[in-house]
Amino acid sequence: MKYSYSIKRKKTKQIQVGDVLVGGDAPVSVQTMTNTLTYDVEATLEQINSIEKEGCDIVRVSIPDEKSSTALKKIIPNISIPLIADIHFHYKRALEAAENGAHCLRINPGNIGSVDKIKEVIEAAKQNNIPIRVGVNAGSLEKQILEKYKSPTAQALFESAKLNIQLLEDQNFDNFKISVKASNIFTSVEAYQLLSEYCDYPLHLGITEAGSYFSGSIKSSIKSSIGLGMLLYQGIGDTIRVSLSDHPTQEVKVGFEMLKSLNLRDYGVTIISCPSCARQQFDVIKTVKNVESRLSHIKKPITVSIIGCVVNGPGEATMTNIGITGGGNDTHMVYVDGEKSHRIQNEDLVEYLVKTIENKVEEIYS
């Protein structure tokens, strides 16, 4: 059960990254990027495995040198999610990554160099039947565009994207997605809006240099959370990455929470809880934290309401699979699928809720 409001997404051209569909009717996918040295195969695999457990759809790894592109031969056979090779400057790294099994190539044409080099990358993508992500970035725009606009404005990012779209289309290549990223959310949002109006290619959403876990996702959510949220709410975006200076699993968690809050993805346990006040009949904050921690292994969608008193509890419970409302004297009302089910008294709430929710998940998905 969930709130019925839904966002009408723009339908874009669909591409395929490994076995993950991007664009069209496919759900908005969540990506992250490893922060290990890619040629350290053991460390990179360990990080990707933890990302996979968090439910990440696609992972990106940096390919700054030949030993990193060579490492893909050992990494890709041992992972279960598609891998994007992120190419910085040298176009040969893209050619090597394509040959070594990458499921997609991310290039910033402003960094790659001549048109002939970009054409070689396109040809490698064609030969290996993999898409390209054109990553336009405010920090590395083409020289002529910066000279024209004097700074990396939204119009500058948009013009760079148009030039690169034309370059790929001139080579009869349309198997690509695009991003126009900047650290300023207003610049990024405007650039993405312009690009969405201009073309139907799938868009990868991101805000660069978003900050630490706390400032990036909570305190200063005007970066990824609000920047991407504004676009997603307008129906713009087919795949996202939340950039945080933290372990990439945190990016995945925040990404899914963002999509869940907009009803764009059903994933894991969604808890609706009150902020707690003097009316609460049990320690709501402690209960929520413990339940959330204990149920982090559940990836199937289920909604839960944990409300400390009867003021808002019954109303919230009607919209969740499992609900509990404080009733006084250590007696609490339990709701199942929006209906009153039974009362409990003097129970260990955390243990009771964990067991009840796990049983409900098994009932729904068995």
User: What whole-number distance in Å separates Cα of residue 350 and Cα of residue 242?
Assistant: 31
- 8 A C-beta contact, residue 345 and residue 333: no
Dig out the tokens for 137 from the structure. 């970035």
Task: Kindly report the pTM of this predicted structure.
Answer: 0.89
Q: How far is CA 360 from CA 64, 136, 260, 289, in A?
A: 47, 45, 20, 20
Residues 6+ apart with CB under 8 A from 128: 98, 99
**Where would I find the H helices in the chain?**
41-53, 66-75, 91-99, 109-112, 115-127, 143-149, 154-170, 185-198, 213-214, 224-233, 248-261, 284-294, 313-317, 349-365
DSSP state of 77: G
- 8 A C-beta contact, residue 57 and residue 80: no
CA distance from start to end of the chain: 17
Length of the chain: 366
User: What whole-number distance in Å separates Cα of residue 264 and Cα of residue 6?
Assistant: 8
User: What whole-number distance in Å separates Cα of residue 122 and Cα of residue 95?
Assistant: 9
User: What whole-number distance in Å separates Cα of residue 319 and Cα of residue 272?
Assistant: 10
- 8 A C-beta contact, residue 295 and residue 361: no
Q: Which helix (H) or strand (E) holds 347?
A: none
pLDDT tens, per residue, the chain with 366 residues: 555 568 999 999 999 999 999 999 999 999 999 999 999 999 999 999 999 999 999 999 999 999 999 999 999 999 999 999 999 889 999 999 999 999 999 998 777 878 899 999 999 999 999 999 999 999 888 889 999 999 999 999 999 999 999 999 999 999 999 999 998 889 999 999 999 999 999 999 998 765 555 554 454 445 778 889 999 999 999 999 998 878 999 899 989 999 998 999 988 999 999 998 988 999 999 999 999 999 989 989 999 999 999 888 899 999 999 999 998 788 999 999 999 999 999 889 999 999 999 999 999 998
Query: How many other C-beta atoms are found inside a 10 Å radius of the C-beta of residue 301?
Result: 17
User: What whole-number distance in Å separates Cα of residue 241 and Cα of residue 255?
Assistant: 7
Instruction: Give the β-pairing of 15-17 and 20-22.
Output: antiparallel
DSSP state of 76: G
**Pick from 225, 230, 229, 204: nearest CA to 214:** 225
3-state SS, residue 133: strand
- HSE toward the beta carbon, residue 84, CA cutoff 13 A: 29
